[in-house]
Copies of this chain bind each other. A is one copy, B any other.
Amino acid sequence: MEILTSKGVTAVPGFKASGIASGIKKSKKDMSVIYSSVPAVSAATFTSNVVKAAPVLFDMENIKNETAQAIIVNSGNANACTGEQGMANAKAMAEKTASCLGINAKNVLVASTGIIGIQLPMDTVLAGIEAACEAISEEGGSDAAQSIMTTDSFQKEIAVSVSVGGKKVTIGAMAKGSGMIHPNMGTMLSFIATDVSISKQMLSKALKDSVDDSYNMISVDGDTSTNDTAFVLANGLAGNETISSESSDYYEFKKALDYVNTELAKMIASDGEGATKLLETSIINAPSLETARLCARSVISSNLVKAAFFGNNTNWGRIMCSIGYSGADFNPDIVDIYFKNESGEIKIAENGMEVGFSEDDAQKILQGQYVNITVDLKAGEYSATAWGCDLSYDYVKVNAMYKS
């Protein structure tokens, strides 16, 4: 697998994209199009929130079609809690995009992110779609990644290539995160383009499994959004023999897809609202995958753990506490806990109790921008990793002051 220097969705043959400022936001980019020159096999995962945004409800129908050819995305307004008008607006966005690109409206997917409960300014939106469709290019990936940002502090893009059945397959993707990030089943917004040839069934399986180990293992604030969506479009232009079973080709592709999704998930976690560091929790030697995942997610979601790391505070009891209320069953009296990163590694607890450690060594690790917390349950062979960030004054500030 090769990590490409040309990042994002337009690193993939056959894909064009754009990102423009339509006026939904005061001045920043807020409208983007991703377009495949040929209809692409499509798959998606969506939020498990009972309150689903209009574009999510729209897409849940449209994704049933074999292929998709374009995704239209706006930021600045989530088109959630907007009733029938919101549904009509999501549909109108797809139709306008189809008309501008000369494709079938059934092949358009829609995504929105931003404030909940306000109707989209449709005159602005429709004019924006026209401009965004006109602007698509093979270099437009970066503009697209920028235009989906809300409180994100940096754009999140990646591209890799991998050999599948003797053919070079490229995967390029972009995502946005920042707040209301605690994905369950679907995720924030993530758009993955690839030229692999694959059946819809296998693409759906690959996406779902990959999402469970990546986006579904991050948390910024425990709030599962109304708009979480991950799309993958596979246009087949790589010319590999179509993947239609769990063959070795499938696993080659899946490995690259996992890498792309995990890297984007980590970018989202490290760019959580107000974050000063990326926290990674590895649960090892768990009796089941479910136990490992429950514990990993619980540590990363604990306000007390997150605040402790913001203060470079070695309060490991909060980690024990958070796995204790995770819903998982385990023996607390045999648990070991380690902190590690590029500055070193220390064992901080053994058999559920504190062990002697050097506060200086701990501080060297805690002051890094990335800290791994490894929890050894010593009770089996399963493991899981989750990602999150610390809880800082700025998280509170961002969410107290702005209606995003």
Binding site for B on A (CB under 8 A): 48-52, 78, 80-83, 115-118, 179-180, 182, 184, 221-226, 301-304, 307-308, 310-311, 313, 315-318, 320-326, 328-330, 332-333, 349, 351-354, 391-393, 395-403
Contact = CB atoms under 8 A, between A and B. Distances in A.
17 contacts: A50-B323, A80-B321, A81-B353, A83-B351, A115-B317, A116-B318, A184-B325, A222-B302, A303-B399, A307-B395, A307-B398, A307-B400, A311-B400, A313-B400, A313-B401, A313-B403, A393-B397
Contact of A226 (B184, B221, B320, B353): B320
A43 to B, nearest CB: 23
Contacts of A392: 396, 400
Contact of A307 (B116, B313, B320, B399): B399
A51 B323 contact: yes
Given A222-B302, A313-B401, A51 B117 contact: no
Contact of A303 (B49, B116, B221, B403): B221
Given A222-B301, A311-B401, A392-B396, 7 more contacts: A116-B318, A179-B304, A184-B325, A224-B325, A307-B398, A308-B400, A393-B397
Number of copies: 2
Given A310-B400, A311-B400, A320 B222 contact: no
A81 B320 contact: yes
Contacts of A116: 315, 317-318, 320-321
A332 B223 contact: no
A128 to B, nearest CB: 22
B353 A117 contact: yes
Contacts of A322: 223
A324 B78 CA distance: 15
B313 A353 contact: no
A302 B401 contact: no
A254 to B, nearest CB: 28
A369 to B, nearest CB: 16
A252 B393 CA distance: 47
From A116, A304, A308, A402, residue with most partner B Cβ within 10 Å: A304
A50 to B, nearest CB: 4
A249 to B, nearest CB: 37
B223 A325 contact: yes
Nearest to A392: B396
